Amino acid sequence: MTKLQKYLLAILGLQIALILTVFLLQKPVAASNNLIFPDLKIENVSEIKISDSTGNEVFMQKKGNQWVLPSQDDYPVLEENVQQLIEKLALIRDNRLITQSEASHSRLNISDENFVSKVELTINGTKNSLYFGSSPATSNIHFRMDGKPQVYLTNAINTSQLSPTISSWVDTLIYQIANESAKVIKVSNLQGDFVFQVDEEGTWASDQLEEGTQFDQSKWSSLKTALTTLRFVEPVSKSSQPEFGLDNPVTEVNIEYTDEQGETINGELLIGSTDDAGNYFVKWSGSEFIYKISSFNAERLTNLSTEDYASPIPTETPQTDTDN
């Protein structure tokens, strides 16, 4: 074998090695099909925290047989909502690997600082964290395990099922009084005192009317719904603080109504000050908790005036005689 042949053979060997290297580097990683949380069951989970990168978060904890919000004096959580979340998370697999590049995390909204949702589960005493990011297609969402670069795609869960707001996990009803149960409603605010009563025929009326106005049943129907059904943005605590403004409320609502046994009950709603987001602190006599309600719901009552339930009395247009 000549010297030239040896050189050519060496060059050929290098080319083959280079081709093999490029092929192996471009070869996709063999897909696995493992569950992210094998045998995940609700009885093995003691804590759940869901957050987003803008600061919203909800923290739920299992105490005895009840899921609660420990930061809100153990306000009860709807267990069926927690059960559905656990069942969804238990279906997630690592069979759709998208990338192993950490540089892609920010672009996919799944980095440590920029993410759509973060779920922290304490399973059998060990904390496990998942980041969820962008949705490239309907019913698909990127996710990755905390501390790992691999990003996967799943359709087992979506961002609407990973809400970091408390209202998604609890029954938000403060009270609801049936139409036929309410008898007398009194609202006291800075505009004055407004008393509404129903007669034996079920017709509501009020003596607080401006001259030239009449009680408007259409307006009252909407207002009465706001007075007899109230939902909260989030529960606060069982104990009041001076900053809640409930010792000197801006509005008091008193509702006389009958319960299912026909007993007369006098319910009292106090509306206090606002938080930084404009929500109002409230206390209902039928609950041990203090809540926050939206400014829309609160200000329908704090700004209540006769215009909200009365309308001008129609005046007849005088008829004039005309020649035929």
**pLDDT (average), residues 179-197:** 96
Length of the chain measured in residues: 324
Question: Do the Cβ atoms of 68 and 75 come closer than 8 Å?
Answer: yes
Q: Give residues with Cβ within 8 angstroms of 1, minimum separation 6.
A: 9
Tell me, what's the pLDDT at 20?
A: 47
Mean pLDDT of the chain: 90
Percent of the chain at pLDDT > 90 equals 80
Tell me, what's the pLDDT at 10?
A: 54
Residue 85: closest CA among 55, 47, 32, 53:
47
**pLDDT (average), residues 113-128:** 95
DSSP 8-32: HHHHHHHHHHHHHHHHHHHSPPPP-
Token digits for 241? 């603080």
Tell me, what's the pLDDT at 177?
A: 96
Residue 75: closest CA among 320, 313, 290, 240:
290
Residue 221 per-residue DSSP state? H
Tell me, what's the pLDDT at 264?
A: 95
**Pairwise CA distance, residues 132 & 119, whole Å:** 8
Q: Give residues with Cβ within 8 angstroms of 187, minimum separation 6.
A: 193, 194, 227, 251, 252, 253, 301, 304
Model confidence over 278-293: pLDDT tens digits?
A: 999 999 999 999 999 9
Q: pLDDT at residue 305 above 50?
A: yes
**Pairwise CA distance, residues 30 & 22, whole Å:** 17
Token digits for 228? 């007899």
Token digits for 236? 């606060």
Pairwise pLDDT comparison (15 vs 131), residue with the higher score: 131
Tell me, what's the pLDDT at 173?
A: 98
Tell me, what's the pLDDT at 193?
A: 97
Enumerate long-range contacts of 196-200, CB under 8 Å, 24 or more apart: 196/220, 196/224, 196/309
Residue 196 sits at φ, ψ, to 5 deg, of: -125, 135
Tell me, what's the pLDDT at 72?
A: 97
Tell me, what's the pLDDT at 26?
A: 42
Model confidence over 237-286: pLDDT tens digits?
A: 999 999 999 999 999 999 999 988 889 999 999 999 999 999 999 999 99
Percent of the chain at pLDDT > 70 equals 88
Tell me, what's the pLDDT at 273?
A: 98
Q: How confident is the model at residue 106 (pLDDT cuts 50, 70, 90)?
A: very high
**pLDDT (average), residues 151-179:** 95
Tell me, what's the pLDDT at 163?
A: 96
